[in-house]
Amino acid sequence: MYGWILVIGILTPLLGALLLPVIGKYNVKLRNRTAFALVAVSFVCAAAALFGVFGDKLFSIRFALPLGLSFGFRADALAVFMALTASFVSMIIVLYSYGYIHHYENQNEYYMMVVVFVGAMMGIVYSTNLIALYVFWEISSLCCWRLIGFYRQEITIRRANKTFLVTVLGALIMLVGFFGIYGQTGTFELMAMNGVHIPDWTVALILFGILSKSATFPLHSWLPDAGVAPSPVTSLLHAAVLVKIGVFAYARLFILTFDVSKSFQTIVPTIAAVSALYCAGVAFKENDIKRVLAYSTISQLSFILLGLSCGEKIGIVGGLLYILAHSTAKAGLFLCAGIVEHSLHTKDMRKMGGLAKQMPLTALAFAFCMFSIMGIPPFLGFFTKHMVIEGIIENGNVLLGALFILCAVMTVLYLVRLYIKVFFGPLNFPTETFTAEAFAKVKEGSKIMVVSVMILGIASLALGIFSYLPSQLASMIWG
């Protein structure tokens, strides 16, 4: 009976979103609030499913289909962890959107796509069937396509297409991998395949899909380009939800379900190390604030992948907690970048500087989120970075551990550079376009935007101080 809560958690945003354009035609405020409520329903359902996880009676439901096929939803610890993370951050992003998006066209579609996207994410995390997972995966790609192309300019459309093509291509290749598994096991049901060893070629195909979705080198190029989207979208896609789908799928398939070759415990961390170091290097030279954060995302996702693929419990739990830490903090960073961009109408860091005086709260929230990404205690990022690197060292791979420490140093360097260039130092505005008088008029974003980033900043800190709580849930995932 409780399984229906999961169905509500998925279908409410998926179907409810269809009402948003209609409501939006008559009442904008009501549409906005409804969008928030729809996402909040997902969050509440995920929170309710926590009782199942801690009560040892998981919420699940199964639907029979013709020809002996079936599909279902199940809220185990991993699903609930991901659902809570994604829906919490999405709620904040919807709130922030009230202030950010209100003067643009296509708002109805925007809210609809964001909410559908959250529904698709819920579908992915609760699905117990490979085909259902694939279907929700593709729904998310569709939403992503529309959201990146939100401004309808030529460049945004081109980049939206790029994102769509790369992620869909990855998903199709992954689908071939799914069929390969079906050919071996005769089922798409994940529960029925627990502990089944799958051939390396299927793992490689699925991995291709995962890496394309989580933007890992060399399949990463779409992610920085997608920075042309509005900031709440980049926050949702780059930080909180979309890119986490890939790493979630890795955890679901290769940690909790299938038995894969030990060689992947070396291959995947090596890919992750290359991706992390490479993108950290690019981030250090970029001058577009959102592109720096995008490359940072790719680099940090590699830490998650490293933790999940190292084969040690401490690393896997660290990798899962890293998802939470990164989602919260990176969403905050993107939203802060949105406030800055909104005020200055530029994303070029060379034309910024000294904004801490005008935007003290945004600067503070940015600092909190930045410290978490850097891995400074007591922020959650500290624990997760420590656990992930401990995992790979425990696995005996000291060299990779050292490389990731190097990457952590580079993370500090490029984030400090960004922070100082944007919020401190002398003003770097070209005088003819942005005079000192104009700068003096620059103010914080709207109340709702500032509150949103402050929530994420404080959450980054609070999650670190009370890291015991999410850690309990994350450690239950491994069993």
Task: Please report how close the Cβ of residue 173 comes to another protein at its closest, in angstroms.
Answer: 15
Binding mask 430-469 for another protein (x = CB under 8 A): -------------------------------------xx-
378 sits near another protein (criterion: CB under 8 A): yes
Q: How far is the CB of 144 from another protein (least distance, A)?
A: 16
Restricting to residues 325-364, name those near another protein by CB under 8 A: 354, 356-357
Check binding of 409 to another protein (CB under 8 A). Answer: yes
* Number of CB atoms found within 10 A of residue 195's CB: 8
218 near another protein, judged by CB under 8 A: yes
Binding segment toward another protein, per CB under 8 A, in 68-76, 122-130, 189-197, 373-381: 373-381
Among residues 255, 272, 314, 359, the one that binds another protein under rule CB under 8 A: 314
Q: Which of 387, 450, 455, 456 binds another protein (CB under 8 A)?
A: 387
Q: Does 401 bind another protein (CB under 8 A)?
A: yes
Instruction: Choose one: 57-65, 200-208, 409-417, 441-449; the region binding another protein (CB under 8 A).
Output: 409-417
Torsion of CA 27, 33, 35, 36, to 10 degrees: 170
The nearest distance, CB 282 to another protein, in angstroms, is 5
Burial per residue of 74-108, b for 16 or more beta-carbon CB atoms within 10 angstroms, e otherwise: bbbbbbbbbbbbbbbbbbbbbbbbbbbbeeeebbb
412 contributes a contact to another protein by CB under 8 A: yes
Judged by CB under 8 A, does residue 112 bind another protein? Answer: no
Burial of residue 394 (number of CB atoms within 10 Å: 0-12, 13-18, 19+):
middle
> What are the phi and psi torsion angles at 152 (to 5°)?
60, 20
What is the Cα–Cα distance from 163 to 213, expressed in whole angstroms?
9
Distance CA(386)–CA(303), nearest Å, equals: 10
Among 73, 126, 134, 222, binds another protein (CB under 8 A): 222
User: Does 400 interact with another protein (rule: CB under 8 A)?
Assistant: no
| Site residues (CB under 8 A) for another protein, limited to 414-433 | 416-417, 420, 424-426
Task: Please name every residue paired with 71 in a beta bridge, in sequence order, or none if there are none.
Answer: 63
Distance CA 476, CA 49 (A): 14
47 touching another protein, by CB under 8 A? no
Note the helical H segments in 186-288.
200-213, 222-225, 231-234, 242-250, 264-285
Among 188, 371, 429, 439, binds another protein (CB under 8 A): 371
Closest CA to 112 of 43, 229, 25, 48: 25
Tokens found for residue 388: 């992930």
Residue 218 burial (10 A CB sphere; 0-12, 13-18, 19+) = exposed
Question: H-helix or E-strand containing 70?
Answer: strand 70-75
- Give min distance, CB of 462 to another protein, in A: 14
| Smallest gap from residue 167 Cβ to another protein (A) | 12
Distances (CA, A) of 350 to 40, 412, 417, 433: 39, 19, 11, 14
Nearer to another protein, 21 or 281 (CB): 281
Q: Is residue 155 within the footprint of another protein (CB under 8 A)?
A: no
231 interacts with another protein by CB under 8 A = no
Given the rule CB under 8 A, which of 18-26, 82-90, 149-157, 379-387 is the region that contacts another protein? 379-387
Specify whether the backbone of 56 is left (phi greater than 0), alpha (psi in -120 to 50) or beta.
Answer: left
Give contact residues for another protein (rule: CB under 8 A): 162, 166, 218, 221-222, 225, 278-279, 281-286, 313-314, 317-318, 321, 354, 356-357, 367, 371, 374-378, 382-383, 385-387, 389-390, 393-394, 398, 401-402, 405, 408-410, 412-413, 416-417, 420, 424-426, 467-468, 470-472, 474-475
